[in-house]
Structure formats: structure tokens, C-alpha cells
Structure 1
Amino acid sequence: MYKKFLSVFLTVLLLLSFAGPTYAGNTTIIINGQNVTFDQQPIIMNGTTLVPMRAFFEALGAKVDWDQSTKTVIGTRDNTTVQLTIGSKIGKVNGQNHALAVEAQIVNGYTYIPLRFVGEALGDEVNYSNGVITINSNKAPPIGKLTVSYIDVGQGDSILVQAPSGKNMLIDAGIPEMGNTVVSYLKSKGISKLDVVVATHPHDDHIGGMPDVINTFDIGTFYMPKATTNTNAFENLLNSLKNKNVNSMYVKAGNNIDLGSNITTQFLAPNSSSYDNLNNYSAVIKLTYKNVSFLFTGDAEKESEQEMLNKGYNLKADVLKVGHHGSDTSTTADFLKAVSPKYAVISVGKNNDYGHPNQSVLDRLNNAVIKVFRTDLNGTVIATTDGNTISFNVNPTNTTSDNISGNTSAEKVYVDANGHGLIKGNINSKGEKIYHLPGDPWYDRTKAEAWFKTEAEAKAAGYRPVK
């Protein structure tokens, strides 16, 4: 009798070992206080919860890419990149190998990834209790601090300001295809209400993602310049404002925005009622928190910059959001001198068709010894300030040393006599992005797909060091 029972028991175990995944229909997933559901149910394999790839990364506010040639998932948030290859029990976080209990895999035509590994790799806290998985990210700024996130939306602008008062302001939302990226990023910060939303001007790369934002969050006041254009993006924006009955106001230079105590936020442009170029309608905002100030310029060009100079506004700011993605239509020498920033942020897409940022603008910034951050090289750039000092989540792209506090550090710069980067980035036969330093045995045997000045630049562009 005992032998028969043992035989049956072993047979059941053997069958279970070959059984497919179990769908976790009773599992509840809560991300930053919000109940999250996916079109494809999570599954359980060997005690590990796997979730649908794209939906989960986006719910955590991460960008996700798929490399078909290597069957590799690449998720990026802030300065962290997570790579998972289908069928491999090795995951990578910023190029470093980590063992997985269960590999990423394709189930019924959908790609699934391990929930806990991905959440913790992105720096989130993951807890499980009685069928409820709770994920919390670093949502709000530390007490008494203000954060400004220059969200990586490719060739476009989107900026989130989180004030110590708990109030939130969003400036622009990228192209239509980036609407979900912006929404996911805001959710990853635990935001449910935007007290202020500003559409700097009605170009698609600034307002395209606004309908997704408006339809998802409670909006306090929506600001935009009194300018119109005949595009689907602009029509969709107006319809979403109307359908949700959002309180909307036209931007007027001199008006203030209330973001709480110790903060002054004022519109400095536009200063005319009519322009030939839509870029010059751009709302320009100066925000000052105690002794630290930020200037957000949209796509304001030379004409608008000169108007602000003529008005005698105090343009001095510690951090400048460079106008028009670094185009030479903006950031004139006189305007840059008046702002005299310590840091500059350029929101720009990789390998864009416009040649942004223009070398003449980069030269002006470098000659003025301004530390430059770029979303095409750094990803999302986050500035945090207590009103006296500023820290950034990434290193600037153009300096050999810095005194920035926070998660940054001095880094060796590899340049030739003309200032051109010497770190060689190539793509190997497996489709992997790898960079080589001068002196590397493989340095002269690789084809350069890109050149970098620092290892941080290479990593920000998705390249890993050679093994």
C-alpha cells in the first residue's frame, strides 16, 4: 500500500514539474498606492511572479525597448537600465550581471518578466503579503526639498516640478506618442493631481502628449499662450480640456503661479500679442525657491529673448532649460550672459533630424563654463534642491570635474586636441552595444558607431563596458 502511494505521489510531482505556468488571477498589484491591472494576467512559475513586460515597465514609469535580434528586453528609468534576455537566468542592471530565479519568457505569445527583480532593480520597494504585491518608489521629494525632472521624451519637452508644499507643476508633455511615457513617469512619482499644467506653445513636440495627461490626472489650472494652429495635436488638446471642463487660462507675462511658500514662479514671456513664429509664443517661466532659481524657456527664440532683455526682467538663474532643444535660433550670447547659469539642461532626442543641439550653442555653454546635461545622453535629468544647494541624479556631459553634491562624481574625460570624444562605441555581432577606452586591445579593431567623452555618456546612450 505504501509503495503504491509513493508511486502515485512521485508521478504527481513529475507531472507538476512539467506543468506550465499558473495564472495568478487572485494576485493584487498596488503601485504607489494605485491598484494596477494588466490586459494579460500575471503568472506564477516556481514561486516567482511574472508580469507582462511592456505594461509593467510602463506602470513603473520606465521606457521599454525590445531588441528582436537578441530577444532582449531593455527597460530604462532615470539613470537605471535593466536588461532581460528571453530564456536567460542572468539579468543586467546598468551592465552588471544578476542571477534570476526564473528567466524572462514568452507565454502564449506574450513576453513575461520577473516582477520583484525588475521592481527592485529600478530601486523600488517590493513587498508581498497575503496575495497582495505592493510596490513603492521614491515618490515625493524629501521634506523641504524641491525636485525638477527633465523627463526624457526624445525630441520634445516635458518637465515635472514637485514643490515642498506638495504641489506639482507639469510643463509640456512631448509628442503624442510620448503621452503614455509622461503619464507613467508621473504615476511612478505617486502623483494623482497636477496643480498647474503649462503648454508652452502649440507645437506637437510640446503638447502632443497633453490629452493623455489631462484624461488621467486631476488638473488644477491649465495655462497656454493665446496662439492657435491647425494640427490634430492642438485640436485634441482643446477637446480634452473641454471634455474634462479644465480651468484654463492664457499665459500673460508678469503673472504668478502659486506653488507654496518660499517659492516664486512668474511668467516672463510671451511679451507680444502676435508673432510670425509659433516658437516665440512660448511661455517662459522663472521659478525661485529660496536662493536657487530655474528658468524654463520652451522654444523661445531670439525675438522673445530680446524682448525679455528689453523689459529688464531679472533673468538670472542657476539652472537654464536651453531653448528650442539647443537650436541656434535660441540662447543668444546676450541672453545667456543675462541668465548666467551654473547648469544647463538640453531636452533633445538621440540622432534627431534637426541637428540639435547646435555646436555653436554647445560652444557658448562650454566657453561660459556651464555644466551641461542632455536627455539624449543622460536620460531623464533630475535636479533636487533645498533652496541653497543643487544635486543632480547624473553627471554633466561636458566637464572633467564638478562640485555638484548628490549622486554625481568627478569622471575622467577622454578627448583629443580638438575636444572630440575618444571613447569608441560599437555594436558587436550579437547586437550588443559596447564601448572601448583608448588602450583597450580591441580599440583599433572595432567600428565606431558613436564617440563619447566620458564613460557616463556611453552608458547613458545604452553602451556597456567591454568584458
Structure 2
Amino acid sequence: MENWNKEKVTPKRKTGLLQRLLSLAAAAALALSLVGCGSSAVVPGGSADVVPNPSSTAASVDAPFEMHFIDVGQALSVLVECDGQFMLYDGGNVDDGSLVVSYLQKQGVEELQYVFCSHAHEDHVGGLAAALAYFPANHVYSPVTEASTKCFRDFVKYTQQQGLQVEVPAVGTVWPLGSATVTMLGPVTQYSETNNTSLVLRIDYGNTSFLLTGDMENTAETDLVNSGANLKADVLQVGHHGSSTSTSYLFLNAVLPEMGVISCGTGNKYGHPHEETLSILRDAKVDVYRTDLQGTITISSDGQNFTVGTERFVPDSQLNPTDPSSSSTAQQAYIGNVNSKKFHLPTCPNLPAEKNQVLFSSYDEAIAAGYTPCASCIK
């Protein structure tokens, strides 16, 4: 695409989210100002920091892998390409179908190796019927094979017109996409809430990694973390369009992303992305990208480095306008001991070794996970 702003990304280790949140929580407990509490120390546990380079002459990485977050407004559609093979994760709303088809045509798509419907809501499945009507596919996946809405029935209809059936993939399934690997991580159990049924995919290319979560919310996030799945990723598709019902501290600590991409519509009626989510991402030092402000976002990788392209340049202060002085980290965090199953205040002198720690963003979250409060620090 023409006239895209580009930013070059270079490798750099970063401080773990748990350590950063602990320092902030401890500072809050001591009633210190949150301003200036962030740490810039470099320790093992991260992968890559974003280094903006607004110059139009900035060199792009030679990237056989690209992930396109198509600007479909208050919806989600992600095209992934590796070595000339393509997969589509969601297709936006029904009205976005022609836009998605046009975008895929411009990218040279002639065939889709895989089509994933993250879950059965229209803003994710709606445009897939149009894509399947135009592009041949090898496999089509969804967490369910039936739903009551016309848009989902059309999705099934155009899948069947290709002589295919909608398949429900199992956790742990691995698919090749060129030289990249796509792994199904969730959902790890059944849910009545449709958002929590979202197919969670991890994509690895070289030493770079990406996590697609659809509209997964806090309940499914917690279950996924507790499953022991490898969630650490460089780029996170922020769940549920940046809603506060997703992207818990616990989940973000497991992912430790460098970049978070939010797909949402300008001035949408839901207020996405919510300030709570933006605050959590800011506190975790995650670089935020947003389709409502920047348009379609493309991330290219050579297996080591990234180049990020956006249709419009927007300063960081607008991408994440939350006020550090009203940081959500002022809420109490708790540290669990995975061995004793007790949880503590960050200031407790009896904290376990870091390797045995698990972070909870609230008292109720720790209790729900089966932990009991430390009698010394929690009265």
C-alpha cells in the first residue's frame, strides 16, 4: 500500500511484566506517587522493543512473513502470509465482506490455506462468507458448526459450496503456513459465553511470535494461563477490541508482548478501547497500535526483526492517552505461591522465590484460582 508510515523494530531484552507490576504495586502500597516508578532495567525474559523511525527512508526488513490487521471498523479481520501461503482469521461484519475481498486481492491472494472463524459473532464471522465465495480454501475452522444467525449460516453455506465442512479444531493442533507454524492453544474448555469460545492461535515464525485471541475474555484467559500453554509472544491481538473484560494482568504477565494491536471502530458505541485496558498495557510497557486511529496495520518479520506499517501516523500520546497519575495499578495486586497455594501482598516478607510466583490482579481472582490468603500479611 502507498504512503504508509513505517517503524523499524530491533531486538532488545526487556524487564518482565511481573517485576514491573510488583514494583508499581509495592509503590502504591507505600502511598508513593506512581509517576516515575517504571523501571528501565534490562533483564532476560523479553524479545523485542519497538524503536520508532519516522523517516521515509527507513529500511524495511526483508520479510517473507506478514500479518495484516485489516481496518474493518468495530470488528476484526487478520490476514497472515508466509512464503506465499495465506490464512484468514475472521472477516469483519457482513458489510465488510467486499472490503476484505478487495484487500486480499490487492495482496495477491488466490487461495486460502486456512480460514478461521474465531467465534460466531457477526463482527468476526460476517465477512467470511464473501471471502469464501471468492477464494478457494483448503480448510475452514470454527469453534462451532451451527449457530442461529444468518451470517453464520452463510459462512457454513459457502464453505459447503466448496465441498468442505466447517471443522472444529482440537487444542494442540499444529498447521504449517509456509515456514511458519500455527498452533491452536484455546479454548481449553467449553463455555456458554460466545466470546470465550474464541479460537486462540499462536503463530511462530523464526524467533518471532504472534497471538490471536478473538474476543476471549477474562474467564477463558485465566483457564488458558492455568493450562500451562506457551503464551509468550512478541505481538498480541488485544482481546475483544480492547474491552476491559479482556487483557487481565494475569494473562498479560503470561504473554509479555512488546506490541498490542487493537482492532476497533472510530467513535464506537462501546467506548473501545477501554481506559482500564489501555492503562494495563501502558503499565506493562506494551506499544499500542489501533486500527481506529491508524487504519490497516501490517507487521512484517524476517524471523528476527519487525517492520510495522500503518496507513496514518498517530503520536503515542494519542494511541494510549491514559493518565499515569490515575494508573489502574493502584488497585491491589497479590502474589501467589504455586507450591503452598497461598497468596501474599507484594510487600510481604514471606514472598516465594520468583520462579514460584504467580500474579493475581485481585483478591477474588486469587480465591477463584484455589489460593488462600497469607495469615501474616492479609488480615
Query: What band does the TM-score fall into relative to the shorter chain?
Result: 0.5 to 0.7
The one-letter code matched in structure 2 to 1:163 is C
Within 5 Å, give how 1:74-89 maps onto structure 2: 79=4
**Counterpart Cα distance in 1 of 2:235 and 2:213:** 11
* 1:201 and 1:279 in contact (8 A); partners too: yes
Q: 1:227 to 1:309 in 2, by over 3 A?
A: farther
The one-letter code matched in structure 1 to 2:298 is I
Higher strand share: 1
1:358 maps to which of 254, 274, 279? 274
The one-letter code matched in structure 1 to 2:309 is N
Name the residue aligned to 2:71: 152
* 1:373 and 1:397 in contact (8 A); partners too: no
1:248 Cα deviation from its structure 2 partner: 3.3
Within 5 Å, give how 1:97-136 maps onto structure 2: none
1:396 Cα deviation from its structure 2 partner: 8.0
* 2:110 and 2:135 in contact (8 A); partners too: yes
2:163 maps to which of 245, 249, 254? 245
Name the residue aligned to 2:303: 387
- TM normalised by structure 2 equals 0.67
1:328 maps to which of 237, 244, 252? 244
* 2:78 and 2:89 in contact (8 A); partners too: yes
1:229 Cα deviation from its structure 2 partner: 2.6
Q: Does 2:135 correspond to 1:217? A: yes
**Counterpart Cα distance in 2 of 1:391 and 1:215:** 32
**Counterpart Cα distance in 1 of 2:171 and 2:313:** 32
Helix, strand or coil at the partner of 1:377: helix
Within 5 Å, give how 1:35-46 maps onto structure 2: none
Within 5 Å, give how 1:52-451 maps onto structure 2: 79=4, 145-164=64-83, 166-226=84-144, 228-261=146-179, 263-272=180-189, 274-394=190-310, 399=316
Bigger radius of gyration, 1 or 2? 1
CA RMSD across the alignment: 2.6
Unaligned regions of 5+ residues in structure 2, if any?
6-59, 327-379
1:243 Cα deviation from its structure 2 partner: 2.1
1:84-128 Cα deviation digits (max 9, x unpaired): xxxxxxxxxxxxxxxxxxxxxxxxxxxxxxxxxxxxxxxxxxxxx
**Counterpart Cα distance in 1 of 2:153 and 2:172:** 28
The one-letter code matched in structure 2 to 1:271 is V
**Counterpart Cα distance in 1 of 2:133 and 2:225:** 38
Report the number of matched residues. 271
1:183 Cα deviation from its structure 2 partner: 0.2
1:364-393 Cα deviation digits (max 9, x unpaired): 001111110000000000000101011101
Helix, strand or coil at the partner of 1:251: coil
Q: 1:78 to 1:250 in 2, by over 3 A?
A: farther
- TM normalised by structure 1 equals 0.55
Helix, strand or coil at the partner of 1:317: coil
**Counterpart Cα distance in 1 of 2:305 and 2:207:** 8
Q: 1:229 to 1:288 in 2, by over 3 A?
A: same
Higher relative contact order (CA 8 A, sep 6+): 2
* 1:383 and 1:391 in contact (8 A); partners too: yes
1:372-428 Cα deviation digits (max 9, x unpaired): 00000000000001010111013885647xxxxxxxxxx9x9999969xxxxxxxxx
